[in-house]
């Protein structure tokens, strides 16, 4: 089994040090990880973030040691593994952090690479896009727990949602599992102690909206 992390380890939560150390530890043991826009903002003051995220970012920079900061700065923007491509946002220009929220966005990302499957995050809602051999796009809102066969004759872009801050009205963490042998993608939702995560955000005097939205899933 291979763990892959699609970025934004820091930026909204109250435990950036623990999170980055955990990812570092897993990468050392063979996991793959790419850089997200919030990770990028740690060492890059010019990265554009919304007002709340700016506040958290200032605090986060004071929480992370130099090893963790260097780890985030050095993470690749894109990783390829066989016919799969891992990226935080739109793969056609990873540095511009464009969201994939429509079939047009998905088409731009898919045609820019040769990957059979692109897995990304950035948008905090799960979605699946597919392009047929004739270039037609289909979008689909996945249902957690139902395996979908990623047919080899077409190309796929899977937005996996967000572990720490889903925005589809369901606070349960979003991720997905990919069975590469059977080409089966299963979107997953798993409940966790959201109250505690929200309490920790409030205790650090970070913007309360960030705590509230965790509970609402928006």
Partner 1 sequence: MVKPWLDVGAIIDGFRLEECLHQGGMATLWRVSSAGTTMPMLMKIPKLAEGEDPAAIVSFEMEQMILPRLSGIHVSKFVAAGDFEVQPYIVMERIPGNTLLRRLPELPLPYAEVVEIGLKIAEALDDLHRQDVIHLDVKPSNIMFRPTGEAVLVDFGLSHHDRMPDLMQEEFRVPFGTAPYISPEQLLGIRNDPRSDLFALGVLLYFFSTGVRPFGESETMGGMRRRLWRDPVPPRRLRPDYPGWLQEVVLRCLEAEPSWRYPTAAQLAFELSHPDQVKLTKRSERLERDPLRTVLRRRFNKDLTKSVIRPATAIQISSAPIVAAAVDLTEGSTELNDALRITAERILATLPSARLACLNVLKLGRIAIDYTLDEQGHNKRIDRLVALRHWAEPLKLETHRLTAHVLEAVDPANAILEFARANHIDHIVIGARKNSLLRNLLGSVSAKVAAEALCTVTVVRAARAGEAGQS
Contact residues for partner 1, defined by CB under 8 A = 103, 128, 130, 132-134, 136-140, 143, 146-149, 151-154
For partner 1, which is the closer residue by CB, 75 or 158? 158
Calpha distance 64→18 (Å, rounded): 9
Least gap, CB of 188 to partner 1 (angstroms): 14
Least separation in angstroms between residue 122's CB and partner 1 is: 21
Of the pair 87, 137, the CB lying nearest partner 1 is at: 137
φ, ψ for residue 130, nearest 5 deg: -140, 145
Of 51 and 133, nearer to partner 1 (C-beta) is 133
For residue 157, the minimal CB distance to partner 1 (Å) is 12
Mark 160-195 as b/e (b = at least 16 C-beta within 10 Å).
bbbbbbbbbebbbbbbbebeeeebebbbbbeeeebe
Give the angle subtended at the CA of 33 by the CAs of 187 and 204, to the nearest 5°.
85
Residues 171, 72: Cα–Cα separation, whole Å: 26
Residue with Cβ nearer partner 1 (149 or 208): 149
CB of 4 to partner 1, least distance (A): 22
């Amino acid at each position: 089994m291979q763990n892959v992390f699609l970025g934004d380890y820091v930026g909204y939560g109250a435990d950036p040090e623990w999170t980055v150390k955990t990812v570092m530890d897993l990468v050392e043991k063979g996991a793959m990880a790419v850089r997200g826009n919030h990770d990028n903002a740690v060492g890059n003051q010019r990265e554009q973030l919304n007002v709340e995220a700016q506040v958290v970012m200032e605090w986060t920079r004071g929480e992370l040691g130099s090893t963790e900061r260097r780890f985030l700065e050095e993470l690749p923007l894109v990783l390829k593994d066989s016919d799969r491509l891992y990226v935080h946002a739109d793969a056609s220009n990873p540095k511009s952090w464009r969201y994939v929220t429509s079939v047009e966005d998905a088409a731009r990302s898919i045609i820019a690479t040769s990957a059979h499957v692109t897995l990304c995050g950035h948008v905090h809602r799960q979605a699946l896009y597919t392009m047929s051999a004739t270039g037609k796009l289909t979008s689909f809102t996945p249902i957690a727990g139902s395996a979908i066969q990623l047919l080899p004759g077409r190309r796929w872009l899977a937005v996996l949602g967000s572990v720490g801050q889903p925005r589809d009205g369901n606070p349960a963490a979003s991720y997905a599992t990919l069975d590469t042998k059977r080409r089966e993608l299963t979107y997953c939702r798993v409940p966790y102690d959201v109250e505690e995560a929200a309490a920790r955000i409030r205790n650090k005097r970070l913007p309360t909206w960030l705590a509230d939205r965790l509970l609402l899933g928006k």
